[in-house]
Amino acid sequence: MPYPALFLGIAGLIPFIGLPVFALLGVMGVYEATHYFTLYSAVLLSFFGGIHWYDAISGGKTNHQLYVAMLPTIVGWLCLILGSDIRTLGILSLSYLAILIYDKYTLALPKEQIMSYITFRVGLTTVVVLAHAVMIFMLR
C-alpha cells in the first residue's frame, strides 16, 4: 500500500474514534456525538462504492459490479433519512462488513495488491465496526 493511502486510511478513523471518546468524556452529549458519527459514517460508506465504479468501468465490465457500486451511496443516504439511532448504526456497521467481503471477492487487482488492500481494510473495518458497537452501547 502506498504511504499516502495508509496515512489517509488511518486518518479516516479519527471521527470514528474521537466522537465516542468525546461522548464518554462529556465533551459533547451522546446524542450529538451519535448524530455527527452517523453523518460521517454514511458519507464514508459511500466512498467505498467508488472503488467498484472505477473497477467496473476501467475493466469494461457491465455486470453486477457497476450496479453494486451504487449501493453504499444509497444505503448511506437512506441511513441519513432514518436518523441517528441504534437501528441506523447497526445498518451502517453491517454495510461496512458487507462491502469488505464484496471487495475481497470482486476487485480485479493483482494478487499481491488485493491481499495488501484487504488486509489493510480488515484492520480499518474492525475499528469502524467496533466504534459503531460503542456508539450503540452508549445509546442503550
Report the pLDDT value the prediction gives residue 107, as an integer from 0 to 100: 85
What was the pLDDT predicted at 25? 97
Nearest CA to 126 out of 36, 3, 10, 6 is that of: 10
- Per residue in 64-85, pLDDT (tens digit) is 888 899 999 999 999 999 999 9
Give the number of other CB atoms < 10 A from CB of residue 96: 21
pLDDT for 14 beyond 80: yes
Asked whether the predicted pLDDT for residue 61 surpasses 80, the reply is: no
Q: How far apart are the first and last CA of the chain?
A: 38
This prediction's pTM: 0.93
